Amino acid sequence: MAIRDVRAQLFDAAERVVLRDGPSALTSRAVTTEAGCAKGVLHRHFADFDDFLAELVLDRITRIDQQAGALRESAGTGTVVGNLAEALSAVFGSLAVAIVSLVIFRDELRARLRQHRPTGVPLLAEATAMIAGYLTAERDLGRVRDDADIDSLAPTLIGAGHLLFADRTAAPPETAAVTAVVITVVAGALAR
């Protein structure tokens, strides 16, 4: 029986396994069992399991790139703090924390990703660029101070967000906790 959109089905299955059981539980058998298909299906569509994982990470990076566009378009609307808190929750409330663990956990995966992303930790680097792009747009609109150090603010927000969401077994942090971190990081950078 033919499976529609095999890649998406396998990626979604991998996401469920990682979120439920952690990166160490992610194997080709776990993915295909979760997807309800034969193990050979994965190997027909990907050179090997690390190729599958690299494509999974790149697919999730594409999602962050899409979020970045939406976040930049939100510049000038709502509040800077609210927009940033929402963006951090969207990035880290998804698979990002588990993917970062997976990238750190698997040497071969990191090596393959370096072919596409030579610097930074994949997903975190793109999320940092997303935040920097948004802060730059807000600076251009006068809602962030001209002298704000965006190159320091963006990675600080991503690092703090990652730490807030890092415990995959606990409930995600409350919106108020995310907002408090954002306020602490950007308070001095906001235009009066």
Q: Where residue 78 sits, what CATH number does that domain have?
A: 1.10.357.10
Judgement on whether residues 157 and 78 belong to the same structural domain of the protein = yes
CA angle 98, 103, 105 (to 5 degrees): 90
Position 94 scores a pLDDT of 64
CA atoms lying within 13 Å on the CB side of residue 151: 1
Judgement on whether residues 86 and 158 belong to the same structural domain of the protein = yes
Judgement on whether residues 149 and 184 belong to the same structural domain of the protein = yes
Q: Which residues pair with 190 in a beta bridge?
A: 144
Domain ranges, residue 142: 50-189
CA–CA gap between residue 31 and residue 25 (Å, rounded): 9
Judgement on whether residues 60 and 16 belong to the same structural domain of the protein = no
- Determine contact, residues 63/127, Cβ cutoff 8 Å: no
Judgement on whether residues 169 and 89 belong to the same structural domain of the protein = yes
Judgement on whether residues 89 and 154 belong to the same structural domain of the protein = yes
Judgement on whether residues 19 and 59 belong to the same structural domain of the protein = no
| Contact residues for 161 (Cβ-Cβ < 8 A; gap 6+) | 88, 91, 92, 127, 178, 181
The answer to whether the Cα torsion of 81, 83, 88, 89 is positive or negative is positive
Q: Which residues pair with 144 in a beta bridge?
A: 190
Nearest Cα residue to 137 out of 85, 68, 89, 187: 68
Judgement on whether residues 3 and 37 belong to the same structural domain of the protein = yes
Position 171 scores a pLDDT of 82
Domain total for the chain? 2
Judgement on whether residues 38 and 109 belong to the same structural domain of the protein = no
pTM (predicted TM-score): 0.87
Judgement on whether residues 39 and 75 belong to the same structural domain of the protein = no
Position 4 scores a pLDDT of 62
Judgement on whether residues 23 and 64 belong to the same structural domain of the protein = no
Q: With the CA atoms of 123, 126, 131 and 137 taken in that order, what torsion angle do they form, in degrees rounded to the nearest 10?
A: -160
- Determine contact, residues 32/42, Cβ cutoff 8 Å: yes
Q: For position 23, which CATH number holds?
A: 1.10.10.60
The amino acid sitting at 175 is T
| Three-state DSSP class for residue 144 | strand
DSSP 46: S
Position 1 scores a pLDDT of 41
| Three-state DSSP class for residue 11 | helix
Position 188 scores a pLDDT of 95
Position 30 scores a pLDDT of 96
CA–CA gap between residue 60 and residue 37 (Å, rounded): 22
Position 168 scores a pLDDT of 67
Judgement on whether residues 158 and 83 belong to the same structural domain of the protein = yes
pLDDT in tens, the chain (192 residues): 445 688 999 999 998 998 888 888 999 999 999 999 988 999 999 999 999 999 999 988 888 989 999 999 999 999 999 999 999 999 987 677 888 888 888 888 888 888 887 788 888 999 999 999 999 999 999 999 999 999 999 999 999 999 998 876 778 899 999 999 999 999 999 998
Position 101 scores a pLDDT of 82
